[in-house]
Amino acid sequence: MFKLVLKIYGIAILIFGFFRAWLLWWHRHEVLNDPLTSGKDIVVTFVWGARYDILVTGFIIILPFLLLVVYDFTHKKIFKTLAFWWIIIGLSLAFMLTAANVVYYHKFYQHITTKALEWLHEPAIVFGMIFQEPRYWFMIIPAGLIVFGFYRLLKNIFASYHPASLPVKKKLLRNFIILFLIFAGIRGRLTHAPFRLQDANRFNNNLLNELILNPVFVFEKSIELHFKNKSLKLDYMPVYRAISIVQKNLEITKPVNKNPISRIVRYDSIAVRKNVVIILMESLAAWKMAYFGNRENRTPFLDSLFTRSIAFTNMYSNGIHTSAGIYGVHFSYPEIFDKHPLRGAPVKIYKGLPQVFKANHYYTAFFIPHNKAFDNLGFFLYQNGFDRVYYEKDYPKDSIRNIWGVDDHFLFNFALQKLDTISASGKPFLASILTIADHSPFYLPDFIKGPTERIRATRFADWAIADFMHKASRKPWFKNTIFVLVADHGEGHKRKYPVPLTYNHIPAMIYYQGVKPQIIDKMAGQIDLFPTLMHILNISYVNNTFGIDLLDSERAYIYFNHDNIEGLIDRTHLLLIDRQKTIGLYHYREGDLTNYKDTETAKRREMETYLKAHLQTAKYILDNDLQNPD
């Protein structure tokens, strides 16, 4: 029995270690570029990682071990067979999750959590994306071969295992010792509390800390946290104190309705009945633009437009998913941890940008390149002020390029035709267009050249927008239209801190005929675009949101979401928290990797208070349906 258990542990540790090494290789630059990380640190990482692997393996094999104990005494093969299949299924699923985690981490810079399960609402899109994206096969094929090899190995191990001919007392003693060792492995240690997620924080290097953790352990803990926080309860401070802080920051003396952050915004000038076109640019991180230092010539048109617009250099996305971008731009509420903003039973109804436009007799339309069911987009948008949502079924079948639907060039041309029709009706319009070119799997026309697929994808996205703007400029409605170009979120690139700021630092610009170009370097978020647009249009309204007018006001900080982590940033400092604790305080502008959370305590508390008050207030408003006051 000892040998059988040791062999299973040994195989599991080797396989988990292989995926750990794979992930390290993929992100090796984070270690190679860190002067404080040594070869010894990498060895320690794998040693500690093995301890977490032992923990996960123990959880999976403890029941099969007990079945083998029964087999040991009864000699009934059914118990041996049950133990075999339990281990095969349990560890194979663990290996597959660990393999999938390599790709997931590479994209989102975090291990798989329950957040990933949200995409199971659209299995066709998820599996289509996996099978159409070549790099995912680098995960599927090795993982499949490993699982098959593990099955063959374990089958041979079990075939050669037979009950030992030992006295009953010796068998009991042996089995007790093995059970004790499995239990000790599950705890991780005997002298302190069982292993926790935070016990992996042994280095200043974020990657090494996360490599220590077994993805199955992280996923299991996220399930616990999900059910523990199913109502998304936040208890950072009393609600009245949180509201008071937010009201002070938003300069609200007395709310005008039940929503505690409601305030009337009045403009003396006559409202301008201009059309508005919002282009939500998929994954267009600031670092991809020449204005922000990129030298790959990815976005020549956007760079030229940036300097001819009202442009924002310190704009941060609401989150790291498209749903968060749509939510932030149109409804100006923060995304709260891993709570999906567009789902719910019932779906939340807001008084955001589309509702205000409809109240001012605008026609509202949203153009989606793919299936409207993804992220619950179609239902949410119809419930929240859009008259028409165009999606995959509205386009010819031969225009569908891949699982993400139509390409940007087709979508823009389709939108132009529809906007012509709407404009001819005499109504002003709000049109939001969601692009997809910069999201894998890519559709890349042959005429778009570049050294890599990713560079070509960004160049195609830029070219499609340039073509759209050129064609729009010849339309009669162009001179009366405001164009808002903003990324839905950024993309990970050269991470230095626990979350890559490049995932949230995005470009945003407002362009229209006759605009006076200006570069605004205030701290800003997607949530601020709605009130800023109202200023440009001189539309008086009741602001029930967290957004501010960037042409008239300034915020001390802007917050952003990275699933289970919330961030707060100003011109110098970056604060990161999870539900329970502060992860770190960093001087990000200087690229300083030092964590100042325990030394700059006054600054940390000030930022914690600001961030937690806004999250607490947002949660209170949403819980009580005050985002849509009567």
**How many Cβ atoms are within 10 Å of 444's Cβ, its own excluded?**
17
Whether domain 271-551 has CATH 3.40.190.10: the reply is no
Q: In the 3-class helix/strand/coil scheme, how is 307-375 assigned residue by residue?
A: CCCEEEEEEECCCCCHHHHHHHHHHCCCCCCCCCCCCCCCCCCCCCHHHHHHHCCCEEEEECCCCCCHH
Residue 90 identity: G
Model's pTM, two decimal places? 0.91
Give dist(CA 242, CA 246) in Å, integer: 6
State the DSSP string of 40-109.
Answer: HHHHHHHHHHHHHHHHHHHHHHHHHHHHHHHHHHH--HHHHHHHHHHHHHHHHHHHHHHHHHHHHHHHHS
Close Cβ partners of 443 (under 8 Å, ≥ 6 residues apart): 401, 402, 404, 407, 437, 460
Specify the pLDDT at position 497.
Answer: 93
Going from N- to C-terminal start, the domains of the chain cover 2-228, 271-551
Q: For the chain of 630 residues, list the mean pLDDT of each consecutive stretch of 10.
A: 92 97 93 88 96 97 94 92 96 95 89 79 66 72 93 95 85 90 91 87 91 96 74 81 98 96 93 95 97 97 98 98 97 92 90 96 97 93 97 95 94 98 96 94 94 96 98 98 98 91 97 97 98 97 98 97 95 94 94 94 98 97 92
CA angle 613, 619, 620 (to 5 degrees): 90
Give dist(CA 387, CA 405) in Å, integer: 22
Residue in this structure with the two tokens 């031969």, named with its chain if needed: 398
Residue in this structure with the two tokens 């985002």, named with its chain if needed: 627
Which burial class, exposed, middle or buried, applies to 549 when counting CB atoms under 10 A from its CB (0-12, 13-18, 19+)?
middle
Tell me if 506 sits within 8 A of 280, measured CB to CB.
no
Tell me if 154 sits within 8 A of 161, measured CB to CB.
no
584 forms bridges with which residues in the sheet? Answer: 576
Q: Which two tokens stand for residue 375?
A: 């992220």
Tell me if 114 sits within 8 A of 228, measured CB to CB.
no
Specify the pLDDT at position 224.
Answer: 83
Terminal-to-terminal C-alpha distance of the chain:
69
State the DSSP string of 392-449.
Answer: GGGS-GGGEEETTEE-HHHHHHHHHHHHHHHHHTT--EEEEEE--TTSSSP---TT--
Q: In the 3-class helix/strand/coil scheme, how is 514-573 assigned residue by residue?
A: CCCCEEECCCEEHHHHHHHHHHHHCCCEEECCCCCCCCCCCCCCEEEEECCEEEEECCCE
- Element (H or E) spanning 140, and its range? helix 134-159
Give dist(CA 472, CA 429) in Å, integer: 14
